[in-house]
Structure 1
Amino acid sequence: MSNTIAGIRLPDSKLARDATQLVRDTESDLLFNHSTRVFLFGALTGERQKLQYDPELLYIGAMFHDMGLVPAYSSKNDRFEVDGANAARIFLTGYGIVENEIEQVWDAIALHTTPGIAQHKKPVVALVTAGVEMDVLGLAYSDFTDEQRNQVVLAHPREANFKEGIIDAFAQGTMHKPDSTFGNVKADVLALKHPDYKRVNFCSLILNSAWTDGNPGGVRCGNPNHNHG
C-alpha cells in the first residue's frame, strides 16, 4: 500500500500503524476500506478548503468512526457512534495524547451521523463527517476530481455491492439496541432492515409524558398527593 494516495500522505507514526492494525484485525474489509477512504476524502476536503488540521487525529477519527458497529466494541445501550468514540479515547489515552486532542477525535466520531453540527466545530471534527458524507452519501462528489476519486478507490476499493453492504453493516451493528437509533439516521436503517422495528415519535413522547399542563407544578388532578383544598 502506497503511503501517498491522491496526493494525501497516510500517517505512518507508531500510533497510526497500531490503529491501522487494530482496525484491520477487528473490522470487515468493507468497513476498513470505507474508514480509510473517509480519511482520504476528509483530508482532500481539508486541503481544498485550506483548513489547518492534524492529519494523525483525522486518521484516528476516520479509522475508529465505525468501531462501535463491531461486537467487541458495542455496548448494550449507547449509540454506536459513542461506542466508537469511547474506543478511540481509550486507544489514544494509551499513547499519552493530550485531552484536548482526544476530545476532538471523540467529537468527530460521536457527531459523524448528526447532520448540521460537525461543520461548525474544529477541522478534525468537520472533516471526519465530510469524509463519511462523501463516501456513503456522495455529498460534494463533484468537488473531487475524477483522478482523486479513482486513486482513492483503486487503493481502497468500494465493493460492487458497497451501498447495500454498508447499510447491512449499520443494521447488524444497531439491531440489538434499537432504542439507540432514536433521533438519528440509523432509525432509517432499522426501518428498512428490521421487520419488528417501531420508530419512536418525538411528538408522541411529548404528548404522552407525565406532565399535565395547566395545573400548578404540572400535577395531575387525580394524584392522591394533590391537595384539593
Structure 2
Amino acid sequence: MGRRGAPVQQPGGLLFAATVLHDLGTGTLAKGQARFEVEGADLAADLLRRHHVPETDVDRVWEAIALHASTGIAERRGLLSYLTHEGVGTDFGRNADVVAPHAQRIHAAYPRPAMVRSLVDAIVERAAHSETAAPRYSIGGELLRERRADGITGLELAAATSPWGE
C-alpha cells in the first residue's frame, strides 16, 4: 500500500483486504474483550486507516469482516460481505466444487496444517478472556462452550468430512 490507498481501490482490492484480514481477531493483537469478528474488524480498520484508505472503504471492509461468520446476515449486506462470507465458507469446504479443479495447486502453495483445530484454539482462547468476547450463540461463545463441555467442537468434528480435511 505504497501510494495513498491505491491497492485497496483497485478492482478486488476491498475483497482482498477483507479476506486476508478477516481473522485478525484470532491473533495476539486481539485482547478478547469483544467477539473475535469485531476485534478483527477493528484491527483491520486501523491498519487500512494508517494506509490512508478512504473511510467509506474502511467501513465496508469492517462490515465484511465483522459479519464474515454471520450466516443469514452477511449475504444481505452487499456484495463485499457476501463474497467474504462465501470465501471463508469455501475454506471450510462449503461449495468446494467451485475451487476443486484448483484445490491441489492452492493447498500446495498455501498448506493448511491443522487449520480448523488451530483456528478453533485461537477463537476459544480469545473467547475465554471475557463474557463480552463469547456471547451466547456467537461463534466464539458456542465453540468455547463445546470445548469446555466435550473437549472438542462440532466444527472440529466436521473437519474430518471436509473435502480439504483438517
Coarse TM-score class (shorter-chain normalised): 0.7 to 0.9
Structure 2 contact 75–82 (Cα < 8 Å) conserved: yes
Taking a change above 3 Å as real, the CA distance of residues 139 and 151 of structure 1, as seen in their structure-2 partners, is same
Aligned to 2:145: 191
**Pair 1:91 & 2:47 matched:** yes
Letter in 1 for 2:108: L
Aligned sequence identity (%) = 25
Aligned to 1:57: 14
What is the rounded CA distance, in whole Å, between the counterparts of 1:85 and 1:124 in structure 2?
A: 14
**Pair 1:118 & 2:70 matched:** no
Cα offset, 1:114, TM superposition:
1.0
1:105 equivalent among 49, 54, 61: 61
Aligned counterparts, 1:53-202, within 5 A:
54-75=11-32, 77-136=33-92, 138-144=93-99, 146-159=100-113, 161-182=114-135, 183-194=137-148
What is the rounded CA distance, in whole Å, between the counterparts of 1:99 and 1:71 in structure 2?
A: 25
Q: Which runs of 5+ in 1 are unaligned?
A: 1-12, 16-52, 196-229
Structure 1 contact 175–194 (Cα < 8 Å) conserved: no
Aligned to 1:202: none
Cα offset, 1:58, TM superposition:
1.3
Structure 2 contact 26–119 (Cα < 8 Å) conserved: no
- Greater than 3 Å deviation, 4+ residue runs: none
Cα offset, 1:70, TM superposition:
1.7
Higher radius of gyration, 1 or 2:
1
Deviation track 1:103-137 (CA, whole Å, cap 9, x = no partner) reads 1100011001111111222222211111111112x
Structure 1 contact 104–122 (Cα < 8 Å) conserved: no
SS of corresponding position for 2:107 = helix
Structure 2 contact 18–61 (Cα < 8 Å) conserved: yes
What is the rounded CA distance, in whole Å, between the counterparts of 2:115 and 2:30 in structure 1?
A: 22
Aligned to 1:49: none
Say which is worse superposed, 149-158 or 103-112, in terms of deviation.
149-158
Letter in 2 for 1:94: R
Deviation track 1:172-216 (CA, whole Å, cap 9, x = no partner) reads 222112443223122221122235xxxxxxxxxxxxxxxxxxxxx
Cα offset, 1:78, TM superposition:
1.4
Structure 1 length as normaliser, TM-score? 0.56
Q: How many residues align?
A: 142
- What root-mean-square deviation, in Å, do the aligned CA atoms of Structure 1 and Structure 2 show? 2.1
